[in-house]
Structure 1
Amino acid sequence: MGSQILILLLLCLLFLISSVSLSAYALCQNDERLALLHFKQSFKIDTNPIDYCVQSSIQQNSYESVQNSYPKTTSWNSSTDCCLWDGVTCDESTGQVIELDLSCSRLRGTIDSNSSLFHLSHLQKLNLAGNQFYGSLISHKFGDFSYLTHLNLSSSRLSGQIPLKILHLPNLISLDLGDSFYDYSALEIENDDFMFLLQNATQLREIVLDGIPIHSTIPHNVSSSITTLSLSYTELKGSLPSTIFHLPNLKKLFLKGNQNLTIRFPSIRWNSSLSLSYLDLGYTRCPPHIIESLRNLSRVKFLGLANCGLRGNVSETILDLEQLISLNLRDNNLEGGFADLFIKLWRLKKLFLSDNSITAQFPSSITNITHLEALDLSNNSLCGTVPSLAF
């Protein structure tokens, strides 16, 4: 009796395994498999690439994790299920391709409006960042992906006017068209479209347009739905509305490199529920006593104030920001010691204080920071001995 039960269980197990195998084989839809293969064949693989993904992270002081590039499409094979291909994700019930992540895949070539990419009509997430599509105008066909929630075409060397259809995608949550090198993208955006994007983003949460020459002001009524706003090196002008610091959902604000943008902080108490944790105002027109104005940012973890005209000792206010993980104060006029930083800001992983006028002993308190990954104190007047436990 026991052996019969065992045999029955084994038969059930074999049936389940075969069912899973059959369903997995049936997942991939043939028309989408052919579209992906045609898309693969339309590009060359760059065998000696400039690694945009690694370098862009260095450019941003490694705020985000580093991603190495490798050619994902080389493993695609017509004899295998496309839902199992590297970078491809399918809907388990329909077999339709819903996600395509070919970021940092060393693709070199052009994408035009006739590309088979646009046959993948059920895409919800599309990431082509860090490839080289030189000579490609950004196609209006990207605006036909009506199910799209995430679109990332950053650092992909696309050019031309950003089609309005993309900005009107009904389900879009995250839009990244930026250039991580900050060397001014070949993409363009109309002033009215930029205003629309920031003011009417009821669904959109993340907007990244780094390096795109916008030549505009930032509107006062930015959508309260936005969680990430990254506009570094976009040639913004005028004053940053202080109302932006009252946005309840804003977590990341990057405005670095906008030398004609004047920063304005609220004259009244900031929103006590402010969740801002990433803030980079480096190389903008910062207000006097900017650090003292940051005392409401109790949750900030990444703070960039490079070339903001800071003077004197590192303010006590900085020491109150005990959640800091990365602090960039390079290229200012700081003079005093900074030993207390290593006592109170023990969570620091990255500290950049280069190109200041700091005259001090190298602090022994640096040994308090056990997670330190990057430290730049160059072009100061430090003396003394570097503790051996610091590295």
Structure 2
Amino acid sequence: MHPLCHADERSALLQFKESFIINNSTCRFFDDDYLPPVASWTLENSSCCSWDGVDCDKKSGHVIGLELINSCLYGSINSSSSLFQLVHLQLLDLSYNNFHFSQIPSSIGNLAKLKVAFGTGESTLLLASKFLRIFLGMLSFDPSSKRLLELKMPHFESLVQNLTNLEVLFLSLVNIPYPVPSLLANMSSLSFLVLTSCGLLGELPTNIFQLPNAEILYLARNPGLTGNLPDFNRTSHLKYLSVIGTGMSGEIPASIGNLGSLELLFLEFNNFSGLVPPSIGNLSKLTVMALSGNSFRGNLPSFANLNHLAYLDLGSNGFAGPIPFNLMNLTRLTSLKLESNKFQGPIPSSISRLKNLLNLDLSFNNLSGTMELDSLHVLKNLTTLSLSFNKLSLLGKINSSGSFPNLTSLSLASCNLSEFPQYLQNLEKLIYLDLSFNNIHGFVPQWFLETSKETLLILDLSHNFLTGFDQSSLVLPWSRLLTLKIDSNRIQGLLPVPPFSTVSYIISNNSLTGEIPPLICNQTLLQVLDLSKNNLSGQIPECLGNMSNSL
């Protein structure tokens, strides 16, 4: 049974509804018969506590929660909005509406009982109890997305100053081109802080990392935000920490080992440097560690105790030394990315223990030795594999039909291959294939033309010793191919015609002769065509001049 509704709050809710146009074109995920929550808000139904999206305190009857997700609201919110008369509100969710580039009003600070505060650039202030679900959904948002909201100074400071009981503050994609207020570091109740892609500037107050109840700190994609990581206390409750794509610098402090509750650590694309402290190996609950795109150096510390680690990305740094054998004991790993470092020596054969691996990228290192691909084909779950640009010599005559059954991306550039690996004929799901900078001679065999014929989008065979294609058809067979690179080979004869889906075709620096075939006129999607450094003759087809809008 619903509690009684207070008349003044019912009136405030109706005024709030009437201040907007209810427009289905602003809704998402609706059918033709979709009714937004506010459709039940009518004078005839006087009990506002029974209205959709309204939650009342069972004893007092005061409105304490509004969940108006995707309510087709179109209009603006200003400081005089009747929304701010609902002074007992603890939860407010106005996500997935269109508030027409509103600024978040300073009057939001009057709602002193709010405990959870979210805001997204797609709506306005978003306050929701189910924050974890929404938060995880925001992780994939494009950082270049247009920010539809702006929070100006001193409103940010006044919001922080007045909402002293705030536990969750979510302002992702809200434009806040100012320094983070130091007052934020005094909000001892704050457990969840997300300021992703907000355009923040200046130095981040160090104490924010030391908030006594903080569990989730996401400050990612604010390139103007600077600062250093502080000394962490053993009393910290931090579970998730992300500063991806900021301007933070300095070293990882040894005290990071005190974060015994940490599960996700994202420090990618910053200016961090120095050695990774051995104490990071104490974070036994860690499932994700992403340190790529920094200037870390030296040998890796032991990760032997990180038994829950599922995702490890150390790419684009200056790590050196051999790949540690203890990494091969992290059997829960699904992604291991060590590309663009200075690792040397052989790939440990014990890598075959990592049977849950989906992604393995060891490219652009100094790894060496002869490697049997048999040692990897037991990794049945692999979807991406990159060994390019090392000093490896790969041997692979795997004929098993079960080899790499799920592989969608394979990069074996500069791996001293002398022929097309036979296991390629068993792959049916490839989207990306790079065999460039090898020593493959002769014709492209007929069986290779059947490889992933229905799925391949990008094929790079450049910088080999290929002389042509062993095929009778006039057009190459990959029906969805977008990019084809065959430059810097020894291809002779007439120009091979790429699939009609092709967007980029580069076949320069070969020994092609004869005229450009008229079939090239069917390449209506072509944007890049490079036929330079060949021995072609005759007239250039007029149709190429008609492709000026795309080519």
Fold agreement, TM-score > 0.5: yes
Deviation at 1:270, TM superposition (A): 4.5
2:394 to 224, 239, 263: 263
Partner Cα distance (1:74, 1:119) in 2? 33
- The aligned amino acid for 1:129 is E
Per the alignment, residue 486 of structure 2 pairs with: 353
By percentage of residues, which structure has more strand?
2
Superposed, 1:371-386 pairs within 5 Å as 372-382=502-512, 383-384=515-516, 386=520
Distance 1:140 1:87, change over 3 A: farther
Per the alignment, residue 132 of structure 1 pairs with: 271
Partner Cα distance (2:275, 2:288) in 1? 20
Per the alignment, residue 330 of structure 2 pairs with: 201
The 3-state SS of whatever aligns with 2:360 is strand
Distance 1:364 1:355, change over 3 A: closer
**Larger relative contact order (C-alpha < 8 A, sep ≥ 6)?**
1
Partner Cα distance (2:177, 2:43) in 1? 50
RMSD: 3.6
Partner Cα distance (1:67, 1:85) in 2? 12
Deviation at 1:355, TM superposition (A): 1.0
Distance 1:338 1:324, change over 3 A: farther
- The aligned amino acid for 2:488 is D
Partner Cα distance (1:313, 1:67) in 2? 45
Per the alignment, residue 445 of structure 2 pairs with: 315
Query: Percent of counterpart pairs with the same letter?
Result: 23
Unaligned runs of 5+ in 2: 1-41, 57-62, 67-88, 93-113, 119-141, 146-172, 185-189, 199-212, 217-238, 528-551
Distance 1:95 1:137, change over 3 A: closer
Per the alignment, residue 195 of structure 2 pairs with: 85
Partner Cα distance (1:283, 1:157) in 2? 25
Superposed, 1:1-391 pairs within 5 Å as 3=44, 5-9=46-50, 12=55, 14-17=63-66, 18-21=89-92, 22-25=114-117, 77-78=180-181, 83-86=193-196, 96-97=215-216, 98-105=239-246, 107-113=247-253, 122-134=261-273, 136-164=274-302, 166-179=303-316, 185-189=317-321, 191=322, 194-198=324-328, 200-221=329-350, 222-223=352-353, 224-241=355-372, 242-259=374-391, 261-266=392-397, 268-271=399-402, 274-286=405-417, 288-321=418-451, 322=453, 323-337=455-469, 343-366=476-499, 368-369=500-501, 372-382=502-512, 383-384=515-516, 386-387=520-521, 389=524, 390-391=526-527
Partner Cα distance (1:99, 1:278) in 2? 30
Distance 1:298 1:99, change over 3 A: same
Partner Cα distance (2:330, 2:283) in 1? 18
TM-score, normalised with respect to structure 2: 0.52
- The aligned amino acid for 1:156 is N
The 3-state SS of whatever aligns with 1:295 is helix
Partner Cα distance (2:286, 2:397) in 1? 36
Per the alignment, residue 229 of structure 2 pairs with: none
Deviation at 1:353, TM superposition (A): 1.3
The 3-state SS of whatever aligns with 2:271 is coil
Partner Cα distance (1:68, 1:349) in 2? 25
Q: Deviation string for 1:328-353 (max 9, x for gaps)?
A: 11101112258869542112222221
The answer to whether the Cα contact below 8 Å between 1:294 and 1:317 also exists between their aligned partners in 2 is no
By percentage of residues, which structure has more helix?
1
Deviation at 1:219, TM superposition (A): 3.3
The 3-state SS of whatever aligns with 1:335 is strand
Partner Cα distance (1:140, 1:161) in 2? 10
Unaligned runs of 5+ in 1: 27-65, 89-93, 180-184
Q: Deviation string for 1:201-220 (max 9, x for gaps)?
A: 31112111113333322233
The 3-state SS of whatever aligns with 2:293 is coil
Partner Cα distance (1:100, 1:351) in 2? 41
Partner Cα distance (1:291, 1:330) in 2? 16
The answer to whether the Cα contact below 8 Å between 1:246 and 1:270 also exists between their aligned partners in 2 is no
Deviation at 1:177, TM superposition (A): 0.8
The 3-state SS of whatever aligns with 2:444 is coil
The answer to whether the Cα contact below 8 Å between 1:303 and 1:326 also exists between their aligned partners in 2 is yes
The 3-state SS of whatever aligns with 2:65 is helix
Deviation at 1:274, TM superposition (A): 2.5
Pairs aligned (count): 330
Deviation at 1:363, TM superposition (A): 4.5
Deviation at 1:283, TM superposition (A): 0.6
Q: Deviation string for 1:75-94 (max 9, x for gaps)?
A: 67336676231179xxxxx8
Partner Cα distance (1:313, 1:100) in 2? 52
Deviation at 1:358, TM superposition (A): 2.1
Partner Cα distance (2:270, 2:361) in 1? 20
Per the alignment, residue 49 of structure 1 pairs with: none
